[in-house]
Homo-oligomer: A and B are copies of this chain.
Amino acid sequence: MTQMESARKGILTDEMKTVAAKEHISEDKLMQLIAEGKVIIPCNKLHKCISPNGVGSALTTKINVNLGTSRDMASLDEEMKKVQKAVDLGAEAIMDLSSYGDTRKFRKMLTSECPAMIGTVPIYDAVVYYHKALMKITSDEWIDIVRMHAEDGVDFMTIHCGINRETAVKFKRNKRQMNIVSRGGSIIFAWMEMTGNENPFYERFDEILDICREYDVTLSLGDACRPGSIFDGTDPAQIEELITLGELTKRAWEKDVQVMIEGPGHMPMNQIAANMEIQKTLCHGAPFYVLGPIVTDIAPGYDHITSAIGGAIAAQNGAAFLCYVTPAEHLRLPDADDVKEGIIAARIAAHAADIAKGIPHAADWDMKMDKARHDLDWEKMFETAIDPEKARAYRNSSKPQKEDTCSMCGNFCAVKNMNRILDGENISIFDE
Q: A: which residues have CB within 8 A of B?
A: 70-72, 99, 124, 127-128, 130-135, 177-183, 185-187, 189-190, 193-194, 228-231, 268-270, 295-302, 304-306, 308-309, 312-313, 316, 327-335, 344-345, 348-349, 351-353, 355-357, 363, 365-367, 369-371, 373-374, 381, 384-387, 390-391, 394-395, 397-398, 400-401, 406-410, 412-415, 417-419, 421-422, 426-431
Contact = CB atoms under 8 A, between A and B. Distances in A.
A43 B330 CA distance: 40
A429 B127 contact: yes
Nearest to A362: B296
A408 B134 contact: no
A269 B356 contact: yes
B331 A395 contact: yes
A412 B308 contact: no
7 closest Cβ pairs, A-B complex:
A186-B414, A332-B398, A269-B356, A301-B390, A270-B356, A295-B352, A331-B394
Given A183-B414, A309-B349, A366 B331 contact: no
Contact of A387 (B228, B302, B334, B418): B302
Nearest to A367: B231
Given A99-B412, A299-B386, 13 more contacts: A134-B427, A178-B415, A183-B412, A229-B370, A268-B363, A269-B312, A295-B356, A296-B351, A301-B385, A309-B352, A330-B381, A333-B408, A335-B398
Contact of A352 (B306, B344, B371, B381): B306
Contacts of A381: 300, 330
Contact of A297 (B72, B344, B373): B373
Given A299-B385, A302-B344, A332-B394, A370 B177 contact: yes
A418 B132 CA distance: 19
B332 A179 contact: no
Nearest to A384: B298
B124 A412 contact: yes
A38 B11 CA distance: 61
B414 A348 contact: no
Contact of A190 (B231, B328, B335, B417): B417
A330 B406 contact: yes
Given A297-B366, A366-B297, A70 B430 contact: no
A330 B376 CA distance: 11
A256 to B, nearest CB: 33
5 contacts: A127-B429, A186-B417, A230-B355, A297-B370, A306-B348
Contacts of A229: 366, 370, 373
Contacts of A312: 269, 295, 309
B309 A427 contact: no
Contacts of A330: 373, 381, 406, 408
A351 B297 CA distance: 10
A335 to B, nearest CB: 8
A348 B296 contact: yes
A400 B329 CA distance: 14
Contacts of A295: 312, 352, 355-356
Nearest to A271: B356
A184 to B, nearest CB: 9
A223 to B, nearest CB: 12
Given A231-B363, A316-B270, A327-B394, A410 B99 contact: yes
Contact of A296 (B99, B134, B352): B352
Nearest to A129: B430
A73 to B, nearest CB: 9
Contacts of A99: 410, 412
A345 B417 contact: no
A373 B132 CA distance: 28
A374 B177 contact: yes
